[in-house]
Amino acid sequence: MSTAAIIWFRQDLRLSDNKALAQALEAGHRIVPLFIWAPDEEGPWAPGAASRWWWHHALADLQAQLKEHGVRLLLRQTSKGCSSEDILREVAKATKAEAIFWNRRYEPAVIARDTKIKASLQADGFKVTSANSGMLFEPHEIANKAGKPFRVFTPMWRHYTTLTVPKPVEVDLSQLRAPARLPKGDRLNDLDLLPKIPWDGGFGDFWGKPTRASMLERLGGFIANHAEVYVPNRDFPEMDATTRLSPFLHFGQIGPRELWARFANASNHSSAFDTGVMRQVIWREFAHHLLFHFPETTSEPLSPKFANFPWKSTESFLKAWQKGETGYPIVDAGMRQLWQTGWMHNRVRMIVGSLLVKHLLQHWHEGARWFWDTLVDADLSNNTMGWQWIGGCGADAAPYFRIFNPMTQGDKFDKDGAYVRKYVPELAKVPAKFIHQPWELGALELSGCGVVLGKHYPSPIIPHKEGREQALAAFKQMNVQV
């Protein structure tokens, strides 16, 4: 009779292109699929509320996929005095498993935990195998010509164009068998991932059920209808022109190798893919590369000259920004989209971030923390790199003193105001010419549109010119040439 092996599912919630699962099946093991909910082991970055919503539905989907093959997903959760290692040992004892397989993660706290667990289990005679199913190439495999980590994206992109991307791993699911008996686990609802107060209604409206099947349907539609016009359309938030695959990638409902192969094998594949969607896959690799080599950047600036930047802490500014009540329509639309859907268009992420850290001089930590709690695609690598880029203190952040003008950005990327009207409905009747700067319309005309500034919609939290000058003064205070 074949021996049992635990497959420790983490951020790889799929059966296809899953190297850890493939290796266990190739070795002839019966499979014990195990998921451990262990937010206490994530360091200071335990999953936020929006991520927990996605976890629940992605796990339900994985349960259903395994059930089709007659296998049950064993759910467990850590508690005081019971760690992931304790659970792995307990399940191994109950199932007589001799081997444990998992796919690697790259967050600093998780790397430290996994390293410790692997050494401890191997010391006690378990065969422990970890694999890569989350990256095209792992961070330690990529280096610049000097043998050092990349800190600028374009050279890394050029390096990737010289590499042969591995094909998706074939998984022979016909060999998927469970041991005769599995120990009792927790129910999915026991993990308490869904909100007790139902604030998530907009999530379901926006995403439907975040399953692998729905993702593949969206991916197919994107490749057929949007991929070749991705570059000219991706910056317009009212258009559904982006893949919206980031949460599926983060939770591993699709892997980057499979995604790359589907892009590369598309019948309409062209240079538009290479300069557009495929480049974004490498941008994700760049984020993981940076966090792996510079793990301190979750809290410290990559650029040391920003260590003494004169950030301010103004609670009223932060709260207004979080609620989408800054008085800048494109910013408020983005923040309300985030709250309602758990996602925000990437162009708008840059605009809202710039206002917070440049105009208002609030620490980029505040933005990173808010996004971490409210984004369904909250990924530590991407979140860290994105906010350091916005703050001017990270990789590829030149010119670091770039200050987005929210009115200009709105006029350029939401010219007719459709995006603003969707998420800031109190401005619905404001003419397109003034939708991004309603204060320019005048009180009488605004009143005719049903808007009184300060009553129905706020005046700008800080005048653009004042905010810009304040930011430039802060750069000069650092003795940095701008």
Q: Rounded to 10 degrees, what is the CA torsion of 262, 56, 344, 287?
A: -60
Q: What is the pLDDT of residue 194?
A: 97
Report how far apart the first and last C-alpha atoms of the chain are (Å, whole number): 71
Q: What is the pLDDT of residue 482?
A: 43
Cα-Cα-Cα-Cα dihedral sign, residues 468, 471, 476, 482? negative
What is the CATH number for 279?
A: 1.25.40.80
Asked if residue 463 is part of any domain, the answer here is yes
CATH number for 454: 1.10.579.10
| 321 shares its domain with 252 | no
Measured between alpha carbons, how far is 60 from 211 in angstroms, rounded to an integer? Answer: 9
Domain end: 133, 148, 180, which one?
133
pLDDT of residue 371: 98
CA-nearest of 102, 112, 115 to 8 is 102
Query: Which DSSP letter does residue 165 get?
Result: P
Confidence at residue 275, expressed as pLDDT on a 0 to 100 scale: 75
Question: Residue 417: inside a domain, yes or no?
Answer: yes
Residue among 334, 424, 423, 395 at smallest CA distance from 370: 334
Please give the Cα distance from 471 to 477 (Å, whole number).
10
Q: How many domains does the chain have?
A: 3
- Whether residues 161 and 138 share a domain: the answer is yes
Q: Kindly state the DSSP code that residue 239 receives in the 8-state scheme.
A: S
Strand partners, 457: 453
For the CA atoms of 422, 426, 427, 428, the dihedral, rounded to the nearest 10 degrees, stands at: 60
pLDDT for position 478: 77
Residue 422 · residue 388 · CB < 8 Å: no
φ and ψ of 312, to 5 deg: -115, 165
| Same-domain check for residues 274 and 138 | yes
Q: 344 and 258: one domain?
A: no
pLDDT of residue 180: 86
The token pair that represents 146 in the structure block? 């000097």
- Does 446 fall in a domain? yes
**Domain termination residue (choose one: 85, 113, 133):** 133
Helices 256-264/277-293 angle, 10° precision: 160
Across the beta sheet with 74-77, the strand order is 74-77, 30-37, 4-9, 97-103, 127-131
* Co-location of 410 and 376 in the same domain: yes
Instruction: Tell me the DSSP string of 88-133.
Output: HHHHHHHHTEEEEEEE----HHHHHHHHHHHHHHHHTT-EEEEE--
Structure token digits, residue 437: 């700067």
**Whether 69 and 216 share a structural domain:** no
395, 302 contact by CB (below 8 A): yes
202 found inside a domain:
no
Residues in the chain where the model's pLDDT stays below 50? 481-482
Whether 198 is in a domain gets the answer no
Q: Which domain holds residue 9?
A: 4-133
**Which candidate, 77, 339, 369, places its Cα nearest to that of 195?**
339
Backbone torsions φ then ψ of 102, nearest 5 degrees: -155, 160
Could you give the 3-state DSSP secondary structure of residue 47? coil
Identify the bridge partners of residue 75 per DSSP, sorted by sequence position. 35
Same structural domain for residues 287 and 145? yes
HSE of 441, CA atoms in CB hemisphere, 13 A: 23
CA-closest candidate to residue 8, choices 26, 25, 33: 33
Is 144 part of any domain?
yes
- In this structure, the answer to whether residues 140 and 109 fall within a common structural domain is no
**Could you tell me if residue 184 is inside a domain?**
no
Nearest to 7 by CA among 186, 167, 132, 130: 130
- Dihedral angle sign, alpha carbons of residues 178, 180, 184, 187: positive
Do the Cβ atoms of 66 and 72 come closer than 8 Å?
A: yes
Distances (CA, A) of 227 to 263, 265, 272, 273, 314: 9, 13, 7, 6, 42
Three-state SS at 256: helix
Same domain, residue pair 235 and 351: no
Instruction: Please check whether residues 255 and 310 belong to one and the same domain.
Output: no
- Amino acid at residue number 244: R
Q: Is 458 helix (H, G, I), strand (E, B) or coil?
A: coil
- CATH code, domain carrying 23: 3.40.50.620
190 domain residue, yes or no:
no
> How many CB atoms are located within 10 Å of the residue 396 CB?
18
Note whether 238 and 333 are same-domain residues: no
State whether 49 and 84 are in the same domain.
yes
Domain end among 293, 325, 351: 293
d(CA 418, CA 430): 11
